[in-house]
Structure 1
Amino acid sequence: MPFRRTLLAFCAFASLTGGALAETYPARPITIVIGSSPGSATDGLARALGNEVTRLTGQAVVIENRAGAMGGIAAQTVARAKPDGYTLFITTNTTQAANPHLLKKLPYDPIKDFTPVSMLTKGYQLLVVNQNVKANSVAELIALAKKEPGKLTYGSGSSSARVAAELFQQMSGTEMTHVPYKANPPAVVDLVAGQTDLMIVDLPASLPQVRSGKLRVLGFSGPKRSALVPNVPTIADTLPRYEAGYWNALYAPANTPQPVVQRLSELVHRALATPSVRQVVEQSGQEIALSSAEELGRFQLAELDRWGRIIRTAGIEKE
């Protein structure tokens, strides 16, 4: 009986403590770490969410860009952070599903080092070339690549961009040369300057350059045309069943208290329901794709398997 009373008292205390923790969180500024540089889809999403969470809670949200190592620097930073809900990670399939299949040495574990909070968005990409490339359609680009195998170069600063281009080569029977970057925005800068020939990259990084006439868009990587570029055909119009995209999700360090995870999930779900954040999502060519923490965990496991199959089929070797 004494043990039973002690156990009941402990459970009651834990319940009250958890509830109190959720009620007081956040009590100070939050840092959201991202593995890309300003101008990327993830950066824009993080800043929009951060602004709304600040409005909802009165606490500042700081966005910390730690580009490099395919998002690995940011992932490692969060993995080593104190699990108190004040250092968070908005990231993509690059760090959580693809990197284990692309990198020989991974300085973090995408499953064990993080607590899933919520899925946020899903998005697609544009196939763009610089103005010196003599191709005005996907079919013409394929013909050009086949004419001189290995001559055309493509940049990538994320696994989404890398795998999208590798999948394109596999399905089109072409061979191009890969040029790696720390993040997509600087890769786009070099593409505009003519240092590389093409990319398949997210809309926030590429669409402004298309609209200014500095890049030419040939195709959209989604299964149907985008409302942002309705006159741009899908790559699948030329390569049937081609589809390449990415997703963004929110994670906390492993062992973050469940009441904090629940509070975070509530905050980001409320933020993504606001017109201002929805507008940022839609203008970046993404769509909202919310989930529970448990659903995100299951989704990530399935994505680890799916990206592994894609990467092996594409013949990409670990670096």
Structure 2
Amino acid sequence: MPLVTRRALAACLLAALGTSALTSAFAQSWPSGPINLVVPFAAGSGTDAVARIVAKRLGDRLKTQVLVDNRAGASAQIAAQYVAKAKPDGHTLFMTTNTSHSANPALFASLKYDPIKDFTPIARVGELPFALVVNGTSTARTLGDFIAQAKAQPGKFSYATPNSTSLVASETIKRIAGIDVVGVPYKSSPQALTDVIGGQIQMYVADLGSALPMMKAEKVRALGVTTRAPLKSLPGVPPIASAIPGFDLTSWNGLFGPAGLPAPIVERVNTELQAVLAEKEVQEQLAALGFEVWPSKTPAEFATYVQDQLTHWTDLIKRAGIRPE
């Protein structure tokens, strides 16, 4: 081998070893301060509640503060853009859902972030089922009742849409059931629930994290759950599919970092998160929200899942007849 080639090869190897050593040393010194856990929805939402439970225990294991940072608005776009531009040093993480990473690319004609290229997948956390709710004093006792009332008053009923799951579920119900219900955008789930309780909105497909307390207080009534099978957390409430055949939709929740997050930090967060989600107390706290723990085993598995869900939600949105804004 020519001398120049040997020298060039040796330089490349030293550079690679140097980069590896620097990355490893950086990861070992991490975290060097508080971690900012960005949430794309308002305080009181289901994702916020899950984030606060996970943040406390993750911070304990990493021996630092994990601070929940709510950046609600624009269907999770504000938070997604913020994280996409953040420095990939492990001190900004993103707990988000299918809204930012599965649905938005098909709901908006132009996004200022790429759900695949601009983020580093770390781990799936689980699923947060949704339920169709109406005012607690409504005369509709079943989903069939509500559909009949909506058909009798076309254009008179409205539904809330603070996130993509609510929007896609509601539009799918409209299409299959053949009802004319008007969508009203909201910034957060608590605001939407307030207006359902106040009578300004007649229907809302709500995340259980925010809606369960209102159900227990009988301020809202659940007429159906979005999952194909009944939920243990809502005994007696049938799947929406029992009235609308073929309906099956739920919301996933996962943890990301900005693109370029060093692999040792990704692995560390994944490992610690797996340990947190295995804790009985954490599982009980999340179950009380209606949340179903379903962690991915590896970051690579989660990355594949995210890509598959992007395809799945794009198809759901097209079939619901929703046009990009």
TM-score (norm 1): 0.96
Residue in 1 aligned with 2:110? Answer: 105
Residue in 1 aligned with 2:299? Answer: 293
- CA-atom RMSD in angstroms: 1.4
Q: Give the Cα–Cα distance (whole angstroms) in 2 for the partners of residues 132 and 148 of structure 1.
A: 18
Residue in 2 aligned with 1:90? Answer: 95
Alignment check: 8 A CA contact 1:25 1:263 kept: no
State which of 305, 311, 320 in structure 2 corresponds to 1:314.
320
Residue in 1 aligned with 2:252? Answer: 247
Alignment check: 8 A CA contact 1:124 1:220 kept: yes
Residue in 2 aligned with 1:124? Answer: 129
State which of 227, 238, 247 in structure 1 corresponds to 2:232.
227
Q: CA deviation at 1:209?
A: 0.8
Alignment check: 8 A CA contact 2:27 2:262 kept: no
Residue in 2 aligned with 1:171? Answer: 176
Structure 1 residue 269 corresponds to structure 2 residue 274: yes
Number of matched pairs:
319
Residue in 2 aligned with 1:217? Answer: 222
Q: CA deviation at 1:192?
A: 1.0
The amino acid of 2:101's aligned partner reads Q
SS at the partner of 1:69? coil
Q: Give the Cα–Cα distance (whole angstroms) in 1 for the partners of residues 276 and 27 of structure 2.
A: 17
Q: Give the Cα–Cα distance (whole angstroms) in 1 for the partners of residues 287 and 27 of structure 2.
A: 31
1:186-244 CA deviation, whole Å, 9 max, x = no partner?
Answer: 11111111110111111111111111111111111112111111121111222222112
1:80-131 CA deviation, whole Å, 9 max, x = no partner?
Answer: 1111110111100000010111123322111121111111111211111013
Structure 2, unpaired ranges of 5+ = 1-5
The amino acid of 1:61's aligned partner reads V
Bigger mean CA deviation after superposition, 101-110 or 86-95 = 101-110
The amino acid of 1:91's aligned partner reads T
Residue in 2 aligned with 1:203? Answer: 208
The amino acid of 1:12's aligned partner reads L
Alignment check: 8 A CA contact 1:54 1:60 kept: yes
The amino acid of 1:195's aligned partner reads Q
Q: Give the Cα–Cα distance (whole angstroms) in 2 for the partners of residues 284 and 256 of structure 1.
A: 31
The amino acid of 1:208's aligned partner reads P
SS at the partner of 2:129? strand
Alignment check: 8 A CA contact 2:128 2:209 kept: no
Residue in 2 aligned with 1:162? Answer: 167
1:243-286 CA deviation, whole Å, 9 max, x = no partner?
Answer: 12100111111111111111111121111111232122212222
Q: CA deviation at 1:18?
A: 2.7
Q: Give the Cα–Cα distance (whole angstroms) in 2 for the partners of residues 252 and 162 of structure 1.
A: 26
Structure 1, unpaired ranges of 5+ = none
TM-score (norm 2): 0.94
Residue in 2 aligned with 1:53? Answer: 58
1:146-168 CA deviation, whole Å, 9 max, x = no partner?
Answer: 11222111001000011111111
Alignment check: 8 A CA contact 2:156 2:181 kept: yes
